[in-house]
Structures are given as C-alpha cells and as structure tokens.
Amino acid sequence: MQTTTTDKELNLETKKISSLVWEYSIPAIIGTLVNSLYNIVDRIFIGQGVGAFAISGLAITFPVTILASALGMLVGVGAASRISISLGEKKKHTAEQILGNSFLLILLFNAVIMTLFYIYLDNILIAFGATENTLPYAREYLQIVLIGNVFISLCYSFNNMMRASGYPKKAMITMLIGAVLNIILDPIFIFVFKLGIAGVAWATVISMFVGTLFVMHHFVQENSLIRLRKENIRLNKNIVLAIVSIGLSPFFMQVAASGVAVLLNTSLLKHGGDLAVGAYGILNSMLLIIIMTVVGLNQGTQPIIGYNYGAKNFTRVKDTFYYTVKIATIITSTGFIIGMFFPRQFAGAFTNDQALLDIAENGIRLSLIAFPLVGFQVVAGNFFQSIGQAKKAIIQSLSRQIIFLVPALLIFPTLFGLNGVWIAMPVSDFLASLLSLYLLIGQIKIIRKMQESQPLYA
C-alpha cells in the first residue's frame, strides 16, 4: 500500500545533511548519555554505598545483562532499520507489520531466554567468574533485573522504532523518563530503605516499566505516523526474517561482547584478582559514556541513511555517513584524551580504595591507546545495518569482539600478565578498524555503481 509523502519524510529527502544529522542525533545522544549516566550512577552508588566487592559483583553480571539486551537489539535495531527503509519506499503498511511482529517477538524471546537464565543463574555466574566474595551481590542483582527484563527490551526496542519513524525528540523523552526516575530511586532505595544492590536493581526495573508505558502509548495513538495494530501482532515469516537478518548483526555483537566479558572477567580474576574485575567495571563505565554517545549519533543517522537508501538517494547516504564518521572520531578522541590524562580522577568517583584505584588507572591508560579509531569502526557497523547489508554488518560487528579480541586475550595475558589483558583491547580496536575500512571501500564502490544507474532525487 503506497502513501503520500509527509513533512517528516520530506525533511529526510531534502533537508541539509548536517542540520538533519543533529536534529535526529542530539535527542538520541541525550537519551543514550542519560541512560549511560544512570548506569554509571548505579555503579557509583554501589561503590560508595555498598563496597568495592559489590562493584566487582556488578561487573560479573555484565555478560548476563549484555545477553539480555541482545534480545532487544535483535528485534529493535533490525525493526528500526526495516521501518526506515519501508517508509523510504512509501510502504507504510509494511512498516506497521514490522511493528506488530516486533512486539510479539520481544515477548516470546524474553519468556524463553530469561526463564533459562533464572533457573541456572548460580551456575552461570560461577562460570562467568563469580567468587565467594562477589556471587551474593551478582545473584541478588540479577534475580530482580531478569524478572523485569521484558520491560527493558520493550522500552529500548520500541524507542528505536519511535526514532526510526520520525520522532527523535519523543524518543529522547522516553530515555529521559527512565533515566531520571532511576537516578532518583537509586539513593532512596540504597541509603533510605537500605536495600543495597537490590535497590539498584529495583530502581532499574521500575524506571524501565514507566518508560515502556510511555513509548507503547505513542504507538497506539491515532496521530502516530505508524501504529501498533492488533491485526499485525502475529508472526509473518517474511517480516520476521527481514527483522532478524538485520538485527543479527547487533545481536551477535552483543552475544560476542557477553562472551568476551566472561573471558575478560576470568582473565582479570586470574591475573589480578577480584579488584581487577572491579577495575574493569570502572573502565567499562568510561567506555559506556563514549561509546553510547557514538551509539546515540548512530541512532540519529540510521533513519536518514535507511530512508534515503530506500529512496535511492545515494548521494545523501554517502554524505551522511562521511559526516557521521567525522563527529564520531572527535568523540572517541576526546575519550582517549580523558583516559590518558585523567584516569585516576575518573576512577576516584567510584571508590576510595587505593589498591583498586591503582589497578584502574593503569588499566584505563593501556586499554584506550587505539580508542580514536573506534568511532569510525562503530559508525561503519551502523552504516551496514542501515542499508540492509546484514552479512557485512555481522562480519564487521564480530571482528572487534571475537575475531581479533578473543585471540588477543588468549595470547597477551600469558606474556604480560594483567597488563596483557588491557593491551588486548587496543590491538583488537586497531585490527577491527582495518577490516571495517576494507569492507567499507567495497560497499562504497557498489553504491557508486547503483548511483550511476539510478536517477537522483536530491
């Protein structure tokens, strides 16, 4: 079913690229930064209000929470990309079918996977590196978070689809609602009700539930560009395959990240003990701020790239990508500077334990040596997702987390001990960026050939 062009769609086709990128990206960046902030605030409150081993216990949960979020990304990112392309092709009905299929997929995936995690939780945590010092904290946190993961998945996934359908500011508000509520509830649950790490978990679940109510309300309103309709909440094989084919890239990236987090935790535990695991939790907080800023930038540019690719406006596709790479490189270079010159000051926000501070300071410096390259690598992965190149997106996503980082983590710690764990990260960043460049050059050549054979709309 074809539709007429709306003002939102017209802007995607004609508005100046730099203005359009910031129009869509600033709300997304604010949303992801605030989301990152409340994750970091969680760790600060845990470190200052519960203790150093609690930070390590939370770090042990990273592989599980990463896997849980992978379910949301499998559906959310894939659906958002397909919705943008469908709207660019003027196929609104298809976009709404994608919306309905996504809702049911999220419910099904969460019911199956979260149940399995809950049943085997202790065994999983021990396999992931939990010790007698950290297991109680990790278990207490996840027993609560896993129950509410369906709200986390729905909130993040439909937030992506909200942005993809032309509502970047409203998507930002969704993230702000959850983040601000979480930041308010954290100190109340920890310091007033004395709930410890369980308070942090309840704050996360409650805030995501409220965010879910907000974002789902948007998609049932009459004035929404695309709506969640009852008749579309059923699985359609072709729609599901279309969603999953694109969503597999970020899903595999998250699964790979979970596996790497396990390998990192066990390597850190072996070569540096529980405090080294805690130091990684602090390093991860710094990475979260920078990477999620780039992710927010990508979330903003994804509808622009996807829509114009669907509309065969390839000049705007390339211009958007090149502009995004410049901004992302500036962002990751800023993270590099902070990591090189102010690592102890950053770590000091989480703990006063001098031994933990010493390990974190050294780890941050070594891990971020090649960090300026990461912006390009992350943007390239988003580019392949946005234009529907599932295989290249998967290869590119797996390169940094599996193809290069896993061998590095197996080799360097045996040579350099704890320092080898930190050094493995920049080695992987550098090699993954080279692979991204190779894949990108090939894709740009393909787009140029398509451009030569198609009329331009801009």
Tens digit of each residue's pLDDT (9 = 90 or more) over 104-138: 999 998 888 888 888 899 999 998 888 888 899 99
* pLDDT of 307 strictly over 60: yes
pLDDT tens column, 326-351: 999 999 999 999 999 999 999 998 88
Sign, CA dihedral 30-148-390-12, equals negative
Q: What is the pLDDT of residue 454?
A: 63
Structure tokens at 258: 């979970």
User: Where does the pLDDT of residue 255 fall: very low under 50, low under 70, confident under 90, or very high at 90 and above?
Assistant: confident
Calpha distance 362→298 (Å, rounded): 30
Q: How far is CA 151 from CA 110, 158, 207, 230, in A?
A: 10, 11, 9, 20
Is residue 5 pLDDT above 70, yes or no? no
Q: Which domain holds residue 72?
A: 15-453
221-233 b/e (C-beta count within 10 Å ≥ 16 → b): eeebbbbbeeebe
In the DSSP assignment, the letter for residue 312 is: T
Q: For residue 100, what pLDDT is reported? A: 95
Q: 55 falls in which pLDDT band (50, 70, 90)?
A: confident
Q: Is the pLDDT of residue 185 over 90?
A: yes
What is the total residue count of the chain?
Answer: 458
**42 Cβ contact partners less than 8 Å away, ≥ 6 residues apart:** 58, 182, 186, 200, 203, 204
Tell me: pLDDT of 184 over 50.
Answer: yes
What pLDDT, on the 0 to 100 scale, is given for residue 29?
Answer: 87
pTM of the model: 0.69
Q: How would residue 1 be classed by pLDDT, with cut points 50, 70 and 90?
A: very low
pLDDT at position 2 = 45
Question: Residues 50-57: what's their mean pLDDT?
Answer: 80
Q: Is residue 202 part of a domain?
A: yes
The pLDDT of residue 115: 86
Report residue 398 as tokens: 């797996």
Q: What percent of the chain shows pLDDT beyond 90?
A: 44
Residue 10 lies in a domain: no
pLDDT of residue 13: 80
- From residue 168, how far is each of 36, 90, 304 by CA, in Å? 18, 20, 11
pLDDT at position 201, please?
92
106 touches 157 (CB < 8 A)? yes
**What does each C-alpha distance from 339 to 264, 346, 367, 368 come to in angstroms?**
19, 8, 9, 7
**In the predicted model, what is the mean pLDDT of the chain?**
87
Q: Using the 8-state DSSP alphabet, how is residue 371 labeled?
A: G
CA angle 261–266–267, rounded 5-degree value = 95
Pull the structure tokens for residue 260: 């790497």
Residue 397 located in a structural domain: yes
pLDDT at residue number 113? 82
Is 401 a domain residue? Answer: yes
10 Å CB burial of residue 330 (0-12, 13-18, 19+) is: exposed
CA distance 110 to 150: 6
Give domain status of residue 2, yes or no: no
Mean per-residue pLDDT, 293-308: 89
Residue 338 makes CB contacts below 8 A (sequence gap 6+) with: 286, 346
pLDDT for the residue numbered 398 = 79
| Spatial distance between the Cα atoms of 197 and 185, rounded to a whole number of angstroms | 12
Predicted confidence band of residue 6 (pLDDT cuts 50, 70, 90): low
Residue 6 included in any domain? no
Q: Is the pLDDT reported for residue 320 higher than 90? A: yes
**Helix (H/G/I), strand (E/B), else coil: 7:** helix
pLDDT digits (tens, 9 = 90+) for 142-168: 999 998 889 989 998 998 899 888 888
For residue 249, pLDDT beyond 80: no
C-alpha 416/C-alpha 418 separation (Å) is 6
> Are 242 and 97 contacting, i.e. CB atoms less than 8 angstroms apart?
no
- Judge whether 8 lies within some domain: no
Closest CA to 329 of 364, 285, 297, 365: 297
Domain count, the chain: 1
pLDDT (tens digit per residue) in 362-375: 999 999 999 999 99
Residues 266-283 as b or e (16 or more Cβ within 10 Å = b): ebbbebbbbbbbbbbbbb
Question: Residues 379-436: pLDDT tens digits?
Answer: 998 898 888 787 888 788 778 778 899 999 999 999 999 999 999 999 999 999 999 9
Q: Give burial (CB, 10 Å; 0-12/13-18/19+) of 118.
A: middle
Closest listed residue to residue 232, CA positions, set 87, 91, 97: 97
In a domain, 402, yes or no: yes
Judged by DSSP in three states, 91 sits in strand
How does DSSP assign 51-66, residue by residue? Answer: -HHHHHHHHHTHHHHH
Q: Which helix (H) or strand (E) holds 171?
A: helix 168-187
